[in-house]
Amino acid sequence: MSGAKRKTPADQPELPMTESKPPTPEEANPKPAAKENGNGNGAHIVAEDVPAVAHRAFEPGRIEGALHKRVDRSFLDYASYVIRDRAIAHLADGLKPVQRRIMWALKEKDDGRFIKVATIAGHCAQYHPHGDVSISDALVVLTNKRYLIEGQGNYGNIYTGDPAAAPRYIECRLTPLAREEIFNDALTEFVPSYDGRNQEPVTLPSRLPLLLMLGSEGIAVGLSAKILPHNFPELLAAQIAILKSQPFKCLPDFMTGGLMDARDYQDGKGSVKVRAKIKVKDEQTVVIKEIPPGTTTESLIASIEDAAHKGKLKVKSVNDFTSEDVEIEVRAPAGVDAEKLVDALYAFTACEVSIVSRIVVIRDNRPVELTVSDVLRANTAQLVDLLKRELELRQRQLEDELFFRTLERIFIEERIYKRIEQCKTNEAVLAAVFDGFKPFRKELARDLADADVERLLQVRIRRISLFDINRHREEMDKLKAELAEVKKHLKNVKGYAIAHLEGLLEKYGPQYPRLTTKSSRHEEVDAKAVAFKAFKVAYDRESGYVGYKVNGDEFKTECTKFDKLLLVFKDGTYKVTELPEKMFVGPELFYCGLPDRESVFTCAYTDRKASYLKRFTFGGTILNKAYLCIPDKSRILFFATGTPKVLYVRYKPALHQKVHQQTCDPAKIDVKSPKTRGRMLSIKDISSVTAEPTRGWDETAATTEIVFV
């Protein structure tokens, strides 16, 4: 980011030596003049203006406005710098500035041998003003992406997350692909480096779709980019399809492999789901062979242990045998099926991740958001343009070489060099050569120039004495054939580009197979369905607590982390609550279980005037909201899930009472809502309602069945 040049004492104008005089009122309080801040309009005042303003009456509006403009301008400068020169990759070559400077430093140092990373970092520091640590880290990342830099030594492990060795211990060099397809000094635009001592490329003349090959991630001021890496051969095939006006489609490909569901990718504006590749080893053991991008074996194991700790799945042991390939063995406890464990790993751990794609790049010095198709079409158009410019450059070189070879033949065969033996001045030598070529003007493609004569005069005597006309003609024929081929390609640059891409595809396609397996659709995993029942809820009536950390003997229920509890109290109040660790509910709990909208409950209650029986389902409820399943000021006599075959009703003894017990069939009552009143059992005082005969039930007495009216 450019900044205003600081004034030094040497920059201050020299003041004339005069006698000191008392200042006049105008001199003591001069009118402040707005100073220009590099934009020529004088709108921004600099620090030197503030003391001058202080001598005048306070003008808050003027000062605040100037400060607001200064802050706005400085913030925009900073934001523009971070976006264009730090965080966001360029569309032309797919590289961030630090990556481009690394590649240029490698090109300058390249001699085919491995070079210490510390050496490259030091050399690159003359272009990149942010320290050698950032350079070394970016170089390691580029090397691990395989395409452009070949590494030797410990560059870390993308599976385990182990860091690379220190820069002084590891070496690197350009790959053949980078040497052949990334650089061309004649077509590279240069700008001064940050200190003005060197020249660095604006962008590299890349003939590869590097942006989608490498992928990129960056966070700038006000925007972020997340470009997923794609498969190199598939990108080349897509470029061929573009040149042939055929449909194409490209999907991401990650170095860590995995199984990918790209239904929502939306040409780079959506997201993909990537799963680990899990194989069932035996009935209780599964092995993770590939992991999703953005995870490591360490983070994946941590997510498994965390899910097990929270009770979302049951795991007996986790062993990491990863070396060159990922191998994480997960064993389930007895009674847990391996297939269900696989579903739980996808549902509750980092074995499945969702990655959002947002392709933001620098184009025409501005950030823009594009799709995969937009990027590929731009890269393909750039490839055609670069190939055309290379052909035009080669054509000029061949024509110049043919012209000079013709000059050289005439110069030697016609012994024009003999004419300069008697010349005593440079002007005479030039004139003699020009005169010697006048008879042969028709054989030349253009007029002779001073530079051509200077080049001829540098031909050595040995070359003149050993000149072989037959060999010279063979060389001329080769140059003419190559020139004809170049002109042929220039007439059909698109076809030449297709041939170039097909050659790359044939050469490099087998080296870069797809690592991430494409899947048209993942089987959706219902987290609630695959959750393990790892929590045992119980109720202790003596203490009044319920939960999975309560030691009680009543209402024991196995639950998952996602389950809710239905609590029904003796006064008919009920509510649904989250799975509690230890919650006080008091000694009046009548029922505790898992809520189910389809489950039928049978309830008998009394309101002191009569007793009623009903069947109902609880239906939907709001969490932690209290409801009533019997009228207010009533009392539950019997409550059970399902429908008992028979209910045994015993009455309290009363004067002149002949019937002391009866039975009834609850199945004869329709199932309704909890608010229904139900069918009347009796107006007598009921002692008990049970589903089984209890102590006090007279098996010998005649028992009638209650008839519901």
- Active-site positions read 169
* Token digits of residue 41: 């309009």
Closest CA to 623 of 569, 585, 549, 567: 567
CA triplet 535, 540, 543: central angle to 5 degrees? 130
The edge-to-edge listing of strands for the beta sheet with 517-519 is 352-356, 271-275, 259-261, 517-519
CB 351 within 8 A of CB 386: no
d(CA 19, CA 319): 90
* Token digits of residue 380: 């393909």
Question: 677 CB contacts (<8 Å, ≥6 apart)?
Answer: 612, 614, 631
Local structure of residue 83 (DSSP, 8 states): I
DSSP, residue by residue, 348-378: HSTTEEEEE-BEEEEETTEEEEE-HHHHHHH
Three-state DSSP class for residue 267: helix
CB 85 within 8 A of CB 97: yes
Question: 623: left (phi > 0), else alpha (psi -120 to 50), else beta?
Answer: beta
In the chain, how many H helices and how many E strands?
18, 34
Phi and psi at residue 177, in whole multiples of 5°? -60, -45
The edge-to-edge listing of strands for the beta sheet with 583-584 is 554-559, 535-540, 545-547, 583-584
Between β-strands 517-519 and 259-261, what pairing exists: parallel, antiparallel or unpaired? parallel
**Residue corresponding to tokens 């900044």:** 3
CA distances to 358, 430, 685 from 424, in Å: 73, 11, 146
d(CA 594, CA 26): 91
d(CA 225, CA 217): 5
Closest CA to 600 of 649, 644, 647, 538: 644
d(CA 620, CA 628): 13
Question: 18 CB contacts (<8 Å, ≥6 apart)?
Answer: none
Question: 555: left (phi > 0), else alpha (psi -120 to 50), else beta?
Answer: left
Three-state DSSP class for residue 539: strand
Amino acid at 423: C
**Residue corresponding to tokens 């950032």:** 134
**Residue corresponding to tokens 């389809």:** 598
* Token digits of residue 597: 């909208």
Question: 257: left (phi > 0), else alpha (psi -120 to 50), else beta?
Answer: left
d(CA 365, CA 189): 14
d(CA 635, CA 607): 7
